[in-house]
Amino acid sequence: MAGTDSSDAPGRPLDSDSSEPLHLQLRGHLRAQILNHSLPPGTSLPSEAQLQVRYGVSRSVVRQALGALADEGLIERGRGRGSTVAPRREHHRLVHRTSGLSAQLGSTGASVGTEVLSLSVQDADASTAVLGTPQVLSLERLRTADGVPIAVIHTWLPVPAFADLTAESLQNASLHAVLGEKFGVQITSGKRQIRAVPGDRDLLRLLRLDTSSPVLLLEGTSFDQDGRPVEVFSTWHHPDHVVFDIDIQREPAVPASAGSLASPAADAPDAVADQARQLGADLLRLADRLSHRGY
C-alpha cells in the first residue's frame, strides 16, 4: 500500500564474515524487498538511525546502501523527509499475443530502440530443426525502452527464405514488421514458454544487471498465415523492467466423447496461466539460490 511505513518490518542479520561488503548486503536486502513488492512504491523506508540499529551497522554503511538504491532509481531521498520507494516504470508484455515486444512497447508510447548485435548464417541444430532447413539465419538484438536495456533477443530464421535480411534493415525496427513489409509474411500463431533462468556474464552486462540476478526467459516458435514455421526465438527480459501479462478466457466445454479429438492448443491459456502464477516464486527462489552460491 502506497504511503505505508516499513519501520516495523523485521530486519535480516547481515553476515560480517562474508566477503561481500556490508553496504552491498544491505542494499541487496532492501532491493529485494522493493522488487518483490514487499516494499511497494510510496513506502517510507526506516530512517538511517533505525537501519543502523536494526542491522547493527555504521551510518556510512547505511548511507552507501541508500545511495546505491537511489542511483538505481529504486528510492527517492529528500532532505528532512527520509527515503521512499520510487514509482516504477514497468513495461508490460502480453505473452499470449503474436505481436512482438517492439510493437507492444511502441503502442504504450515508450521510445523503443533496437541494436543488432550479430547477424550470421549457421548450420541448423536440434533447437532449430522445426524450421526445416539445413541452415538458419542467426540474429541477436538488444532492445531498449526509453533508453533502458530491457531485453536481449536471439532469433533463428530459415535460409534461404530470409537470406536477404540485413542488419541495417533491422536496426531500430521490428522484425515482424520487416518480415511483413519485405516478404509478405504475417505471424499468426505460435508456441511460448516462460521460465526464470540465471544469466551469463555477457547477457547480464548487456542488461546492466548484477552477477547474482536471474532473468525472465521467453522461448517460442512462430508460424505464418500458412502454418509454416517462421522463427525460433529466445528472449531474455530484464526482471525489474518487464512484466508478463496474460488475458485468460474460459474455454468452451468439450464433450467427453470428443476429448480425444480436441486440439492441444485448447489447453494453452491454462498452461500459460499456471506458468505465470509460478514464475514470481521461481524467480525469487532462483535469485536466493544464486546469491548463496556466490555468483
Express the helix, strand and coil content of the chain in percent, nearest 5 each.
35, 30, 35
pLDDT at 286: 60
Q: Find, among 192, 125, 121, 221, the residue nearest to 161 by Cα.
A: 121
pLDDT at 173: 86
Task: Please determine, looking at this structure, whether the domain spanning 91-250+264-293 carries the CATH number 3.40.640.10.
Answer: no
Highest-scoring range by mean pLDDT, 31-35, 105-109, 248-252: 31-35
* Percent of all residues in the chain with a pLDDT value above 70, rounded to a whole number: 70
Q: Is the peptide bond before 40 cis (omega within 30 degrees of 0)?
A: no
Three-state DSSP class for residue 185: coil
Residue 195 has φ and ψ, to the nearest 5°, of -155, 160
Report the distance separating Cα 277 and Cα 274, nearest Å: 5
Q: Region 208-221: what's the mean pLDDT?
A: 86
Query: Tens digit of pLDDT for each residue in 127-150?
Result: 999 999 999 999 999 988 878 888
pLDDT at 283: 59
Joined grid coordinates for residue 262? 480436441
Q: Is 50 exceeded by the pLDDT of residue 179?
A: yes
Three-state DSSP class for residue 71: helix
Residue 221's pLDDT band, with cuts at 50, 70 and 90, is very high
What's 22-85's CATH class? Answer: mainly alpha
Amino acid at 266: A
Domain positions in the chain are: 22-85, 91-250+264-293
Query: Tens digit of pLDDT for each residue in 22-47?
Result: 998 899 889 888 877 788 888 889 88
Q: Region 14-22: what's the mean pLDDT?
A: 82
Q: Do domains 22-85 and 91-250+264-293 have the same CATH topology?
A: no
Give the end-to-end CA distance of the chain in Å, rounded to a whole number.
33
